[in-house]
Amino acid sequence: MNTKTIAVTVFYMVLQGYHAIIYPSDYACTLCEDPTQVTFNFIVVGGGSAGATVAARLSEIPEWNVLLLEAGGDPPESTENPLLWNHNLRTKYDWTFFSEQNPLFFKGMEDERCIISRGLMLSGSSSINAMIYLRGTVEDFRQWKNKYGCYGWDYEDVLPYFKKSEDFVDSSRLDPEVHSVGGMLTVTPLTTFDPAYTVIAEAEQSIHLIEVNDFNRKAPVIGYGNFDSTTRNGRRCSTLKAFLMPVSNRSNLYVAKNTIVTKIIIVDGVAVGVEFKCSSGEIKSVFCTNEVVLCAGPIKSPQLLMLSGIGPREHLNEHNIHVINDLPVGLNLQDHMSLPALVFTDRKCRPIEDIKNESSDLLKKEMSLYSKNISTLGLSKLMTFYKSKDDLVYPDLQIIKFRVPFNATNSLPNKLNLFTNMFGYSKEVTNVYDELNLLSDIIVMAPIILQPLSTGRIKLKSVNPFDDPSIILDYLTHEEEVETLLKGIEFIVKLSKTKHFKDAGLVLEELKLPNCADYVWDTRDYWICVIQNLAAPFYHVASSCRMGPEDDPFTVVDP
């Protein structure tokens, strides 16, 4: 059996292990027949990470009728397996937005545009993300309060809610000050067979990084360790599974699927309902007595607000939209920029036949954990937080790692190609990764900026709600951000020179990008060129409807 046959066989073996999942019943047909049949107290727009949770919580009050409107349908069964987390990127379960071109960056992307994946299904992006359970540092929340005026959002304010929602299953690491059990969101440690795990961990220790037992602790988290995951019994624990499905039989909770909201209806400055598209193509209206709760995500929420008359006056005037409230909607868009461009091979250590056999064996072992109800994301479980300057208390860099099995781009289904589907690199660029992957497994390390300074913005392309908005990513425009990425590169290069890496045969390879052919490898100019070509947002897009005090020029909603 050749490598391709082995990999495809393992891939489809895991699809046989799914158990029956009963999703919430669909109210869409009844709603479209007669939107006035039920008097709703709340309408929640978007059934994703936030919306599924909010709808479930609101429906705890029996007297409140809650309508949840979701543009997508049920998640596919493949979302259950953590190792297949990227299986549904750029499919019908993904909005698959594209940014506008940028004069300086994204030169290695298809058409020089970034992909921005957002989940298009119940549970939203919590069914296409990598299930990493990181709350943020204490300092993150303190800045929200002290720097941005978001009172009520300090760390001590939000910690009780993190604990209330959490079911932390690792009793050996349960710190009751920050964790709890019995909540609806299961948080689980990960397992891996990956032999590089120990090599990398020991190498980081050799350059004086400490092992961090819990990345969600109160103390600063500078060091390496294992992140916890939103998984349950070896399967993804999305917000749908955690919060919505357990209460979907409530008589006051109505879930309408494949129902696209096109406008918020505002009367005398108050949101009283929404317009939505039925599967028949008809546009209908539904109203509520209390509130419309907008949970459509950082791309669709600003688009809906602007289409409804809430947004920058000048921009709305350009589209002849009546201005109800002049607010900076769509501005201040932010993301964590990453650079998945530091690629290691082990081809100098073993004959290629050994690499083939070991790669397929490792893949089968990792996949087998799923059938045993054990959570795994392979090598990705090992994460590093690092500070680019000695005087920092909290990290400003995160380093992720992932393994791509030998010849994976040819042997695994194409939709699992991270370089194409997640990062959106052009064929010319993915060929560079493929050539290295034909030599051996590759291990990719990516520095990620944790404290972005530059912002993007969302604008309307048209008044048609079915047109994607214009997404302008003016990222990395602060020189300090590029310097931070360079510090992350410097850290990984330092790792590559340790005895542990050399003894294991892990070799940092040059990415021979056509656009960077004029630069000498591993020089500052070379890495800046790589950043201009391959730096990519990490799907942590946020802040397009910023929270803050009324006198802040970027505030859209108050705390």
**Which phi and psi (to 5°) does residue 543 adopt?**
75, 15
Q: How far is CA 90 from CA 94, 127, 299, in A?
A: 6, 13, 16
- The two structure tokens encoding residue 118: 């957002």
Give the C-alpha separation, 461 to 31, whole Å. 30
The single-letter code of the amino acid at 441 is D
Give the C-alpha separation, 305 to 212, whole Å. 42
* Alpha-helical segments (H) within 147-277: 155-165, 196-206, 239
3-state SS, residue 289? strand
Q: Which residues of 235-259 are buried (b: 16+ CB within 10 A; e: fewer)?
A: bbbbbbbbbbbebbeeebbbbbbbb
Give the C-alpha separation, 115 to 218, whole Å. 34
Q: Which residues of 62-99 are buried (b: 16+ CB within 10 A; e: fewer)?
A: eebbbbbbbbbbbbeebbbbbbbbbbbbbeebbbbbeb
**Which phi and psi (to 5°) does residue 398 adopt?**
-120, 140
User: How many CB atoms sit inside 10 A of residue 121's CB?
Assistant: 28
Give the C-alpha separation, 250 to 50, whole Å. 19
3-state SS, residue 7? helix
- The two structure tokens encoding residue 451: 């404290």
- Is residue 261 marked as binding? yes
Q: Which residues of 189-223 are buried (b: 16+ CB within 10 A; e: fewer)?
A: bbbbbbebbebbbebbeeeebeebebbbbeebbbb
Query: What residues form DSSP beta bridges with 266?
Result: 271
Burial of 517 (0-12, 13-18, 19+ CB in 10 A): exposed
- The two structure tokens encoding residue 131: 């299930």
Binding-site residue ranges for FAD: 261
Binding site residues, as ranges? 261
